[in-house]
Chains A and B, each alone.
Chain A
Amino acid sequence: MELIERYIYAVIQKLPQSQREEISIELRGLIQDMLEERVEGRKPTDRDVEEVLQELGNPKNLAGQYRESKNYLIGPELYDSFILVLKVVMITLSIVLAIEFVVQIIIEPMSILEHFIDLIVTVVTVIPTAFGWTAIWFALAEHFSEINPKDLKMEKEWKPSDLPPIPDTKGQIKRTDPIAGIIFYVFLIALFSFSTNYFGVWIFRDGYRGAIPFLNPEANNIFLLFIILILGFGIIKESLKLVYRKWNVQLVVFTAILNVVSFLVVMLMISEPEFWNPTFMNELVQYGVLSEGTEAYQTVHTIWNQSTRWILVFMAIGLIWEIVDGLVKVFRQKK
């Protein structure tokens, strides 16, 4: 009789908690009924039990019959895009990690072993993290796309004229564009999380190899978090383009939301005086890139001081351009 309990357990452990108790009572009753019919009054043997369970079949299949809700995180509709994004992210990350390794060796050739260990540690932590984040976003997309079939049921009257037009080439998004975008963002994320100290003006002279960072090396790590967050938004945006494959209103709305949030965060962040490297100009002079008082120094100084404003202006233009471009493509399709 122990076999029966094992069978029931095998079925219900694959079912939602709320249904387990009832189904196990039901199954126990069923198996006893089946046994009774089989033995016709004599005492059931272990062999009878085995035969009855055999008749009921693989507990996995039985559990599958009981379970109606879908048991996957990312369904067939999103799977292809998921794999594509994953591939792009993984390949880019590997390349970036390799480049970082090489750069580190160039800067400090003496501690190659240390860098190698760093590389291994980074690979082990970063690759699963990237995989996880990619999967989470796609799983969320899958979860919320579940609502759609119900929406469809609500629309009782469907007209052939409701059919969306086949997107002409103007509205379609070439696969290469978002892929290039994702590569770009992953590259930047890797660069920033590696160290913001290498994001700056590079100097190779007099035996010194290194960079004068644009960003304040002492600044709060919260900035770094925000930068990576915004770059992450960029990846989501590009992934959405990969999923939709054409411009539509939804995509424009998503893009607009992500762009506005990104812009606000960047604006708040780079307006903080702590954000930029306060000794940037001094360091340029110190390493002999510029000498104080020259015209070149004045020009760079002006650019440096005004950079915050101009970055915001260019970013705003870029982000608005993306939305307008998307809108134009949506309306062109509608004609």
Chain B
Amino acid sequence: MSNVNDHLDKLMQELRRGTLTIGVLSQLSEPQYGYSLVTMLGDKGIHVEPGTLYPLLRRLEKQGLLDSKWDTNESRPRKYYLLSKTGKEVYCLLVGEWMGIVDSLNHVIQQKGEEENGAD
């Protein structure tokens, strides 16, 4: 049984890695700092480790999908991230692609289910 869990863990990890970017981009039409994003995503059911999110934010910034600004007015300096112009475009297209994947996958999963039901 633990074998099954191992497989599941590995596959889930891969699945999350791909989808996390969409989740992050979806929340950044308003500027957010790292930890506020962790809480926000957590509240919406997307659990993410800060150790994964912080480096991801930096990478996305480096790729030009995010802009960033340091806010030094608060008690401690915080780096706020926001979708860049490119980031917005990429996000819109990405959502379209995602919907397509969901549709196709739903379709194949349901089809499989119908076949099994038919066989009963």
Contacts and interface: CB of A to CB of B under 8 A. Distances in A.
A49 to B, nearest CB: 15
Nearest to A63: B55
Interface in B40-81: 49-52, 54-55, 58-59, 76-79
Contacts, number: 41
Mostly, the A contact residues are: helix
Contacts of A28: 76
Interface residues of B, number: 16
A65 B35 contact: no
A235 to B, nearest CB: 40
Interface string B72-97: 00001111000000000000000000
Contact of B59 (A25, A30, A61, A68): A68
A62 B55 CA distance: 8
Contacts of B79: 22, 25-26, 29
Given A56-B50, A66-B55, A66-B58, A33 B77 contact: no
B97 to A, nearest CB: 20
B34 interface: yes
Interface of B: 33-35, 39, 49-52, 54-55, 58-59, 76-79
Q: 8 nearest interchain CB pairs?
A: A33-B35, A65-B55, A66-B55, A62-B51, A29-B76, A56-B51, A57-B51, A29-B78
B59 to A, nearest CB: 7
A57 to B, nearest CB: 5
